[in-house]
Chains A and B, each alone.
Chain A
């Protein structure tokens, strides 16, 4: 029977072109939706890498007139002491402006062992940075006082960069960078931090220790506050900051707020995309339903004949549903050919597993859609009275 149906479909390929195109287009749309959803879900299901709750970020425009590095250091330490003396401050750290969920990015690249690594998020941090953000170390340690005088610049990298550079080997103690005067020594590895929100990848990350030279670029402070820190405390903190950092615009934001805003940047367009795709799929479903209905009304004579020569109502229904599924298979073979190019060509630099899972889900979805759309017309075909259908012809 399968061979017979395939032959029938093949001989009617011109008439079936519309149906095939419709399934192909819907498959590509569904594949795009599922690729996005799988990508976001895979990222969402990974650990966040930090605890952002009760972390406040203070930004100030670093227009300090102090040019001398030692004086600048002393100034920063003074501010630190004054803030830390506040009762509801648990920990404090200076940071470059690209702290998690901030709208600031700083990336770099280097060559190590002849291999190039690009788009590495570079953070300038202090010894207490990982405590404030409750970061988890996978290997080695975070910065401490002993890192002040070293032959090689000490760095902490994240799991993703470690995996790319060293695979399953330990990274601690390894020197990276091919230029002799710019070699860096890995002292620790931290869990990936999804700095652009829960739905996006962490990417590669490298953490540097703020030194005397880099302090003049620092304009942000991260403060871990106690659970009872409220608006009144925030106001008090603001006053202390304003007194300490004169002639500067000071802004305090809560990491929880910018975290939610970052997630919103993904959720909002994705919701719009799903709604549009949903309408498109409803249209496709109605289209499929209409095409199948039309085919049945055109094939009443054939259905009557099949009933006359031995087909039961159920086998007529089965035949029509099977035909739709075979047609869907033909369209999906073409669709799969295009979809499989995404993981093969590493489009958008997204993991192959995202595309492969999305491909599988899309195939199942389209089969289900075609099955459901053909079920009722198939049932209607089974109900066609053979004598009437044969007489009409």
Chain B
């Protein structure tokens, strides 16, 4: 599903050069639930961003669904992200000025779909995460766990094949974290969605199919 070959990412300033990801090669199979762990600054999020086509590697090849995405234009990348990828962030990244249902509908605005279709899909996604009774609430009227569930609904509304989750339970207490983890496991199990999750939590990581550890930008396990 995802193949990374010898990926490197270097951040350069006028005086300093930082190697954030150092020659990582990784295959993620379709339907796999993979977790990535490592200390802060080891390059987990950078690697996730590269897999999510939000960042370009300095070196190496990324293939998703057998397509070499490194040659994609900005438009093609945007379309690819919209169709194939879903993102969940630690800080939710919800738009506070939009109601829950409008936040969930967002990815559908960037593809051809009618207003009714968008509403139906967003309602369905919110039902899946147990928030069908909060459609007209604004994000700041929800708890952290509920916000993350809205973010998950937004990630799955477009029925992507891959979900990239950057510390999705990082801002939540353990009960809420477990709830979110349950939702992700169900999505993986029931819908066959490939999930790649960056986490600091050993317990959460052990609930996934495979764990990849990073240290100083390199894969250690």
Contacts and interface: CB of A to CB of B under 8 A. Distances in A.
B62 to A, nearest CB: 14
Interface stretch (A4-12, A160-168, A170-178, A231-239): A4-12
B189 to A, nearest CB: 24
B8 interface: no
A7 B54 contact: no
Nearest to B118: A4
B169 to A, nearest CB: 18
B54 A386 contact: yes
Given A4-B102, A7-B98, A308-B54, A314 B87 contact: no
B130 to A, nearest CB: 22
A301 interface: yes
Contacts of B82: 309-310
Given A1-B109, A307-B54, A8 B74 contact: no
A1 B107 CA distance: 11
A3 interface: yes
Given A3-B115, A8-B97, 4 more contacts: A305-B87, A306-B106, A309-B82, A310-B82
* Chain B CB within 10 A, most for which of A301, A307, A309, A385: A309
A62 to B, nearest CB: 78
A313 interface: yes
A54 B93 CA distance: 79
A302 B54 contact: no
A28 B107 CA distance: 39
B54 A309 contact: no
Interface string A59-99: 00000000000000000000000000000000000000000
A302 B95 contact: yes
Given A301-B93, A387-B54, A393-B93, A312 B78 contact: yes
B159 interface: no
Contact of B87 (A3, A8, A309, A311): A309
Interface string A278-316: 000000000000000000000001101111111111110
A305 B107 CA distance: 10
B74 A312 contact: yes
B15 interface: no
B45 interface: yes
Contacts of A315: 78, 110
B97 A314 contact: no
A390 interface: yes
A387 B49 contact: yes
A391 interface: yes
Interface string B133-161: 00000000000000000000010001000
A314 B107 contact: no
Interface string B103-134: 00111011100010000000000000000000
A62 B29 CA distance: 111
Nearest to B80: A310
B54 A390 contact: yes
7 contacts: A7-B98, A305-B106, A307-B78, A310-B81, A310-B110, A386-B55, A387-B49
Q: What bracket does the count of chain A residues touching chain B fall in?
A: 20 to 34
Given A11-B98, A312-B78, A390-B89, A4 B109 contact: yes
A319 to B, nearest CB: 10
* Chain B CB within 10 A, most for which of A304, A310, A311, A385: A310
Nearest to A393: B91
Closest 6 CB pairs of A and B: A310-B82, A310-B110, A312-B78, A387-B55, A387-B49, A387-B54
Nearest to B55: A387
Interface residues of B, number: 31
B52 interface: yes
B81 A309 contact: yes
A106 to B, nearest CB: 65
Contacts of B52: 308
A61 B195 CA distance: 103
B75 interface: yes
A312 B97 CA distance: 22
A211 B78 CA distance: 89
Contacts of B158: 309-310
A183 to B, nearest CB: 72
Nearest to A310: B82
B79 interface: yes
Contacts of A386: 54-55
A309 B89 CA distance: 12
A189 B150 CA distance: 79
Contact of B98 (A8, A311, A313): A8
Nearest to B49: A387
A310 B111 contact: yes
B74 A314 contact: yes
A374 B113 CA distance: 28
B97 A11 contact: yes
Contacts of A305: 87, 93, 95, 106
Contacts of B106: 305-306, 309
Contact of B154 (A4, A301, A309): A309
B48 to A, nearest CB: 9
Contacts of B102: 4, 7
Contacts of A3: 115
B107 A310 contact: yes
Contacts of A301: 93
